[in-house]
Structure 1
Amino acid sequence: MSEEDLVLDAEARRRLRHDLRTPLTIVAGFAEVLAGEREISDADRREFAQRIQDAANDLRRLLDDVLED
């Protein structure tokens, strides 16, 4: 991999920031709801946990793509 391959242009950096922040925001938001004091049905709790898991998997794939040799 050349040095040029490591340098992202401004548009690529903007897309990457967005692509990383979106699933991170999902994880943080649903985790906050689950950790909060309000009552949540078991069905909602399972759905929120699944959304957290899906977003974490999206983050993992994005990071794997970025850090791939």
Structure 2
Amino acid sequence: MHQKEIAEALAVAMKRDGHELDGADRLIIRNTVSGSMAAQRRRENYARSATVSFNWIKPKTPRGK
């Protein structure tokens, strides 16, 4: 899901639970969703960069010639 879809889903769920949302509440929701998605991207990038790159080594000849 995209950031905007998640924020809208949270806002709808809060309205359904009886909470009144004003502009400040919507801003907090958007910032929270944005921050959590950015943290997720940072974790994925760190995990991707922490992996060891594969180095192919030419195999030796079977008879050692």
Please state whether the residue corresponding to 1:58 is helix, strand or coil: helix
The offset of 1:37, in angstroms, is 6.7
Q: Identify the residue that residue 13 of structure 2 maps to in structure 1.
A: 36
Which amino acid letter does the alignment assign opposite residue 48 of structure 1? I
Greater relative CO (CA pairs within 8 A, separation 6+): 1
Between structure 1 and structure 2, the one with the greater Rg is: 2
Q: TM-score, normalised by structure 2?
A: 0.50
Number of equivalenced pairs:
41
**Of Structure 1 and Structure 2, which has the larger fraction of its residues in helix?**
1
Uncovered stretches (5+) of structure 1, i.e. residues with no partner:
1-26
How much is the aligned-residue C-alpha RMSD, in angstroms? 2.4
1:59 to 23, 40, 43: 40
Uncovered stretches (5+) of structure 2, i.e. residues with no partner:
52-65
